[in-house]
Amino acid sequence: MICPIKQRCYPMLGFRNCESASRFCSAFDELRNYLRARSVEDEPITASTRREIFAARWSDLMTELAA
């Protein structure tokens, strides 16, 4: 798995200032945390369940942004 810190460092290369990179990274982190499926008591989540959760949350997000 790729470390989220490394994922945050790479986008800075395309931005001209730290403020823009900071805005992007905070929005990216919020979206990533919202779409991520979390297990209860460290029980594994099957891939099909993860896809269902992601699809439902993505649909809700797109509906919210369209309004």
pLDDT above 90 for 48: yes
Taking CA atoms, 55 is separated from 42, 60, 65, in Å, by 22, 9, 15
CB 56 within 8 A of CB 48: no
Which tops the pLDDT comparison, 44 or 2?
44
Write out pLDDT tens, residues 13-41.
677 777 887 888 888 888 888 888 888 88
Directed axis angle between helix 47-66 and helix 18-35, to 10°? 120
pLDDT above 70 for 1: no
Entry pTM = 0.63
Q: Would you list the domain boundaries of the chain?
A: 1-36, 38-67
SS3 14: helix
Tell me how crowded residue 27 is: count the other CB atoms within 10 A of its CB. 10
